[in-house]
Amino acid sequence: MGEDEPTAADADSESGSPADAESGSEASGVDYAARAADTLGFSRWWQIAAAAGMMAAVSPYQYVWSSIEQPLAANLDIALPALGAVFSFYVVFQSLSQFPAGKWRDSRGPGALTFLAAILAGGGYIGLAYATSLWQLYLLYSLGAVGVGIVYTVAVNTAVKWFPDRTGLTTGVGTMAFAAGSALVVPYVRVNATPAAYSDVLRNIGIGILVVTLVGSFLLRDPPTDWLDRGDGDEGDDGDDGLAASIRGRNYSTREMLSTWQFWLLFAMFVAMASADLLVIANVVRFAENFGLAALIATLSATLLPISAGVSRLVLGEAIDRFSRKRVMAGSFLLAGLFRIGLVGAGEAGNGAVFVAFVLGAMFFSSPLYVFFPSLLADYYGAANSSGNYAVLYTAKVGGGIFSGTVAGYLVATTGWNATFVLGGGLAVAAGLAVFLLRPPSGSGLETSESATAD
């Protein structure tokens, strides 16, 4: 039901590019906006606004870490490599919490689940203000990560449930908020990121997370299971031409999906791209300082990074609704890798302006991975089980978290920053090249569409 993801295949089977939201709605004979308004009593965009607000609130866990780790290390007298494991724990728990959270949400709704997320995510940051040892940092950041994972899967699937006609764009809005929301927090953190002031900063951020997420838990709701059933006034099967091929085709169970080679290639690509993406997010401040660049360059990089990541999810999320998914993905991943390799050259040259520009380019082309993969997964394996299926694929982010935290710490200590970032760029390039190996699994209903678009 309501987890249908419209895809680039929507019109590929006829014209080679998807129809926009309005034409897709007309073609299917279903006025999704009107049905949602009848169900909710107000515009469905308010559900996206609530989900986006929650995503922005919890984003500091991922995007502010590089700015708070140094004052934490200084105040608690902890070596920075040991703190790298904190970020790895975050990624592990944020990723693994999504499968059970998604299953709960699909059967019982988002209310109680997001209330729990508010307590965990808000309480985690508040607790950091009073932590006195490394094990407490591990525990608090991991508990907060579970809250972030709950918010993430609830927000992404809110777009999927209420916008079967525009999933690429609305998923992009939510994930944009997750990336760009922390841009409002980074300058505040950087100005006050001293051993004396950081406790107040952490506590204030935690209170903000708690309040915004609690409000969201009261606003979000799911559509009834029959809200897309045809009414008496709807047309017959002819309207199906405007629906995503994955909606018309076969729906794979998770077990069936795991038996296809396409899933495992997607999984490996996700690990590679998440590693490249998180490597920059978790280490951009220390990487800039490694080259002796001015503190302003590190601050600008950390502040503008989430903005670039957020805008890209909206822009390229719209692009994959309108153009060939695979071509957009391949180009994006290849450019993400080249910009990461270019970062090393900019740093060696001591050119701060180019360094900041390359950080923005690197993030612009890697961050949409969180829009690309759920869309392509629904193309290949259908919409009925898309929530559970994507939650399984999302566990690949664990590999990225381990690489960007623990493994990167080891590599920096043994080979240096430059080799580590070049490796990250190489992983992104490899993922971009791997896109060209992908083909729809047999029986997905997309074989004809994909061959028609010469992907």
Q: What is the pLDDT of residues 403-423, one digit of tens each?
A: 877 787 788 778 888 888 889
Q: Would you state the pLDDT for residue 229?
A: 59
Exposed/middle/buried for residue 186 (C-beta within 10 Å: 0-12, 13-18, 19+) = buried
Q: Considering the domain boundaries, does residue 39 fall inside one?
A: yes
Kindly write down the DSSP assignment for every residue of 204-247, as one continuous string.
HHHHHHHHHHHHHHHH-----TTTTS--TTS--GGGGGGS-HHH
Torsion of CA 201, 205, 210, 211, to 10 degrees: 110
Q: What CATH code is carried by the domain that includes residue 265? A: 1.20.1250.20
Q: Considering the domain boundaries, does residue 349 fall inside one?
A: yes
Q: How many residues does the chain have?
A: 455
Tens of pLDDT, residue by residue, the chain (455 residues):
333 333 333 333 333 333 333 333 443 456 777 777 777 778 888 888 888 899 889 988 877 877 777 777 777 777 766 777 787 788 889 888 888 887 787 777 888 889 999 999 999 999 988 888 888 888 999 999 999 999 988 887 777 677 766 766 777 787 778 777 777 787 788 777 676 777 888 888 899 999 999 998 888 887 776 666 544 444 444 443 333 444 445 678 888 899 999 999 999 999 999 988 888 887 788 788 878 777 788 778 877 887 888 788 888 888 877 788 889 999 999 999 999 998 888 887 878 888 889 889 998 998 888 888 887 887 788 766 666 778 888 888 888 877 877 787 788 778 888 888 889 899 999 999 999 998 888 755 555 445 444 34
Cβ atoms within 10 Å, residue 336: 30
What are the phi and psi torsion angles at 427 (to 5°)?
A: -65, -40
Q: Sign of the C-alpha dihedral, residues 257, 261, 267, 269?
A: negative
CA 14 vs. chain centroid, Å, equals 31
In whole angstroms, give the CA distance from residue 314 to residue 52. Answer: 12
In whole angstroms, give the CA distance from residue 265 to residue 175. Answer: 23
Q: Would you state the pLDDT for residue 210?
A: 93
Contact at 8 Å (CB) between 330 and 434? no
In whole angstroms, give the CA distance from residue 401 to residue 388. Answer: 21
Q: How many CA atoms lie within 13 A of 203 on its CB side?
A: 7
Q: Considering the domain boundaries, does residue 3 fall inside one?
A: no
Q: How many CA atoms lie within 13 A of 412 on its CB side?
A: 19
Helix (H, G, I), strand (E, B) or coil at 30: coil
Structure tokens given for 87: 């970020």
Eight-state DSSP code of residue 189: H
Identity of residue 380: Y
Cβ atoms within 10 Å, residue 92: 20
In whole angstroms, give the CA distance from residue 161 to residue 144. Answer: 26
Q: How many CA atoms lie within 13 A of 258 on its CB side?
A: 8
Identity of residue 301: S
Q: Considering the domain boundaries, does residue 295 fall inside one?
A: yes
CA 314 vs. chain centroid, Å, equals 11
Q: Which residues contact 334 (CB under 8 A, 6 or more apart)?
A: 428, 429, 432, 433
Q: Is 292 left (phi over 0), alpha (psi -120 to 50) or beta?
A: left
Q: Would you state the pLDDT for residue 264?
A: 95
Torsion of CA 383, 388, 390, 395, to 10 degrees: -170
Q: Would you state the pLDDT for residue 447?
A: 54
Q: What is the pLDDT of residues 142-175, one digit of tens each?
A: 999 999 999 988 887 777 677 766 766 777 787 7
Q: Please give the tally of structural domains in the chain.
A: 1
In whole angstroms, give the CA distance from residue 192 to residue 259. Answer: 51
Q: Considering the domain boundaries, does residue 207 fall inside one?
A: yes
Q: Considering the domain boundaries, does residue 2 fall inside one?
A: no
Identity of residue 143: L
> Among candidates 378, 382, 275, 364, which has minimal Cα distance to 328?
364
Domain range for 291 is 9-230+239-452
Q: Would you state the pLDDT for residue 383?
A: 60
pTM of the model: 0.70
Q: Considering the domain boundaries, does residue 178 fall inside one?
A: yes
Q: Considering the domain boundaries, does residue 4 fall inside one?
A: no
Q: Would you state the pLDDT for residue 19?
A: 32
Q: What is the pLDDT of residues 231-269, one digit of tens each?
A: 444 444 444 333 344 444 567 888 889 999 999 999 999
> Among candidates 176, 53, 184, which has minimal Cα distance to 114?
53
